[in-house]
Structure 1
């Protein structure tokens, strides 16, 4: 299908359809969405090279990814985010330019992308919690960019984030309402903005109920399943173990669940867990009754929306920054229950060599 055919099908001018596909701000959001939906339905793909020659654009958006294992990029969460962004780029005839660089080389990569005219805009990942040198650099380069997350409080650039502080405050308050007082935090790397905000929300909830925070019940590492297992195992071995956990990742929460099982403890009965759930496409916590009580937000949808924002900024030099703060949805699952005295104490493994078979009634 050609642009002319798509325009005739929609009853719109070719100029309007072209502007909608290219993210021009003068096209209404309703019309833009109608055009995008029709383009997807009829598998319309614009000639990227021709468009680039006609508009003087690269028809590509850049993503710079640090190679270091310190950053939580090469994981299922990042994959879902990139999938969401890629869907939007493709629908509008844009490509994705991804540069994986060594530590300390991110800024050089941005300069090269801008200097060589490789991209029309940039999408920034994993903002730091205090100052992030990438932001003033990108502002000097003059390329449109969107940050997935935030940096501090004074911001004059486009970003999209979830309300991490409020989300983890609500999660901790739920556990407090259930009677828990020894509540552990298994967090992500706290030099990153999202994790720093989650810690603040957790501490605010404890302080609001007059519960003293215990440093022995707080850990911050890269969010992996083995990290969740080791952190929970260490905390459960404390003289006064936690009866509940707040966890920054569904993947990490699975490690916590493994540690509970190894300690002979039942998730949701002996120990409660609330996790953040990015609503991953192939690692789902959904169901009639989810496994984990969770603060939920779709990272794929965040990828789609970040891509829409950066495309909308291209060619709109006078446009004000777009800033969106999304609330998470707190969903109840099988992993939370009322506080039970002694519930977090370690027990003999349920399936050791001396364990007798468990029979259910009627068996």
Structure 2
């Protein structure tokens, strides 16, 4: 069944039926419910071209990925986020327009999107502390949502994890277990989330009067190799760390590999806490199941975050005059087999 046939069956114009299916407020609620019920019964899916004509929208959401020549395209965290937003876009009839550009081509990409009206909104990921994309998108008047936030985050919509509190709790747990030589393997500290995680770690250490060893503070792209190489060098020291706090389960796997090569048992000889994004392809609960989670972790689903970011963005497109939507998600601290008392 097409739009014309559905309209004739209902005795309504094609425009009215299209607007009812797409949630336009000028359609009476009784009419909307009647149209939606008929469309469901007929297993009708709106034609994307017809929907664009009826709504005057592009029915696309822009994602601009700056390529720094590192690990962007194989980043499973990015992949799970895209899966989450994509599920909502598909459900609501939107396409995802992914533009991969050089770092210095980001502004041009956004300006082209605005000039060509090729997208109805933009999703921003991995914000820096003072991210120039925010002011640019506000200037272009493109609806946008930031996954994360910047130092000043009161004028736009965002969804973020309480990173400082998460890493503060993780550090406090290790301190309660008697650890004092604690290493932070952070993400890239050009990014806002990593700076907040560092702050949470340093605050917890300072409150207990435990000095932070600068040699135990590291940041880089969150790969398994980063965790392995850094932990290997540190574990060979005479004053090796007894515990690691790691910004992702991916480098935490590298830390565990380095410890294993040295005959160290995680949870007994060395402890590890990581941030766990509940990755679809790397399930912390499923590693070495049924013994329980492999890693003690501060948990938050990146896929759920993607879904919610998409929902917020589509609501901003439908209601552009609403105030900014801002959500801060707490993490769960889940105990696994990777933590234990500090070795004597």
TM-score for both structures, normalised by structure 2: 0.88
Q: What is aligned with 1:116?
A: 116
Q: Secondary structure of 1:105's match?
A: helix
The correspondence of residues 50-89 of structure 1 with structure 2, limited to 5 A, is: 50-69=50-69, 72=72, 74-89=74-89
CA displacement, residues 118-151 of structure 1 (integer Å, 9 cap, x when unaligned): 000000011002x111100000100100000000
Cα distance in structure 1, aligned partners of 2:198 and 2:181: 15
How far the C-alpha of 1:107 sits from its partner, in A, is: 1.0
Tell me how many residue pairs correspond in the alignment.
326
Matched, 1:338 2:337: no
How far the C-alpha of 1:207 sits from its partner, in A, is: 0.7
Cα distance in structure 2, aligned partners of 1:199 and 1:168: 8
Cα distance in structure 2, aligned partners of 1:17 and 1:290: 47
Q: What is aligned with 2:310?
A: 307
Stretch moving more, 252-261 or 73-82: 73-82
The correspondence of residues 156-175 of structure 1 with structure 2, limited to 5 A, is: 156-175=155-174
Q: Secondary structure of 2:154's match?
A: coil
Cα distance in structure 2, aligned partners of 1:250 and 1:271: 16
Segments of structure 2 that go 5 or more residues without pairing to the other structure are: 11-15
How far the C-alpha of 1:178 sits from its partner, in A, is: 0.7
The correspondence of residues 121-200 of structure 1 with structure 2, limited to 5 A, is: 121-129=121-129, 131-200=130-199
How far the C-alpha of 1:318 sits from its partner, in A, is: 1.1
How far the C-alpha of 1:2 sits from its partner, in A, is: 6.4
Distance 1:273 1:43, change over 3 A: farther
Q: What is aligned with 1:215?
A: 214
Segments of structure 1 that go 5 or more residues without pairing to the other structure are: 342-363
CA displacement, residues 150-179 of structure 1 (integer Å, 9 cap, x when unaligned): 000342000001001100001111111111
**Which structure carries more helix by proportion?**
2
Distance 1:43 1:185, change over 3 A: farther
Q: What is aligned with 1:285?
A: 284
Q: What is aligned with 1:354?
A: none
Stretch moving more, 147-156 or 193-202: 147-156
CA contact 1:25–1:312 (8 Å) conserved in 2: no
How far the C-alpha of 1:317 sits from its partner, in A, is: 2.3
Q: What is aligned with 1:46?
A: 46
Distance 1:2 1:87, change over 3 A: farther
Distance 1:43 1:104, change over 3 A: farther
Cα distance in structure 2, aligned partners of 1:95 and 1:52: 11
Cα distance in structure 1, aligned partners of 2:126 and 2:56: 30
How far the C-alpha of 1:45 sits from its partner, in A, is: 3.3
How far the C-alpha of 1:72 sits from its partner, in A, is: 4.8
Cα distance in structure 1, aligned partners of 2:59 and 2:52: 6
CA displacement, residues 209-252 of structure 1 (integer Å, 9 cap, x when unaligned): 11011101110011100100011111112221110000001100
Cα distance in structure 2, aligned partners of 1:259 and 1:14: 61
CA displacement, residues 72-126 of structure 1 (integer Å, 9 cap, x when unaligned): 5641010000001000000000000000001211111000011111000000011
Cα distance in structure 2, aligned partners of 1:159 and 1:171: 24
Distance 1:126 1:26, change over 3 A: farther
Q: What is aligned with 1:321?
A: 324
TM-score for both structures, normalised by structure 1: 0.84
CA contact 2:296–2:335 (8 Å) conserved in 1: yes
The correspondence of residues 14-33 of structure 1 with structure 2, limited to 5 A, is: 18-20=21-23
Q: What is aligned with 1:353?
A: none
Cα distance in structure 2, aligned partners of 1:72 and 1:175: 32
Distance 1:2 1:275, change over 3 A: farther
